[in-house]
Amino acid sequence: MVRMGQADPAPDPLSLRDRLLAATYQCVMRFGLGKTTIEDVVKESGLSRATIYRQFPGGRDELLLETVGWELANYFNTLADHVRDAPDLEQLFERGLVFAHRSLTEHLVLRKILDTEPERLLPLLTVESAKTLPFIADFLHPYLVREAEQGRLRPGVEIDRAAEYLARAILSLINAPGRWDLEDPAQVRELVRGELLGGIVA
């Protein structure tokens, strides 16, 4: 009971689930995916094993999968905020690819896991891509609609299919740009205008 004149306790800015995901992320950063245990998360979060299993009935495997998805969602939300005010589709892709690639390169945890435990992370990324693809496609949809309204889409382009194609291309290029140097503005411009959007934008 709070007495008169006594301030209410400050609310926890993170939900119970977010607290566990954030704690798991810290453990993965410290120990890696393979060595992170439920007990590590108990110590990091200050929450009980029972609480963890109530939130994540699948145990460690579910917790790690959800943590990877949580961090990827943070990553793509940051990317979306960075390009949201792009004036057109070309600028959106040019800004987005550079920022996304650089952010992934500088992301200490994801890079560490990709370098040391790719066999553990890649299956999780494959599962999460099923959620990430619709997020990216939905984000691109209004930009494609605007291009269509301005008469800049090639005849016969279906917006939904174009959004899905571009979403898949983005995911592929961020981590594996192949022959393209995403640090070189001229190459990024050629990639975006000549390959990604060449068959979509007139």
Q: What are phi and psi of 87, to 5 degrees?
A: -75, -20
Percent of the chain with pLDDT over 90: 57
12-21, 147-156, 163-172, 181-190, range with the lowest pLDDT? 12-21
Q: What is the 3-state secondary structure (H, E, C) of 80-112?
A: HHHHCCCCCHHHHHHHHHHHHHHHHHHCHHHHH
Question: Contact 96/79 with Cβ under 8 angstroms?
Answer: yes
Rounded to two decimals, the pTM is 0.74
* pLDDT above 90 (res 41): yes
Residue 5 pLDDT class (50, 70, 90 cuts): very low
pLDDT tens-place string over residues 132-162: 889 899 999 999 999 999 999 999 999 999 9
For the chain, the C-alpha Rg in angstroms (whole number) is 21
Q: What are the residue boundaries of the structural domains of the chain, listed by start?
A: 16-196
- Nearest to residue 192, comparing CAs of 91, 105, 99? 91
CATH T-level fold of 16-196: Tetracycline Repressor; domain 2 (1.10.357)
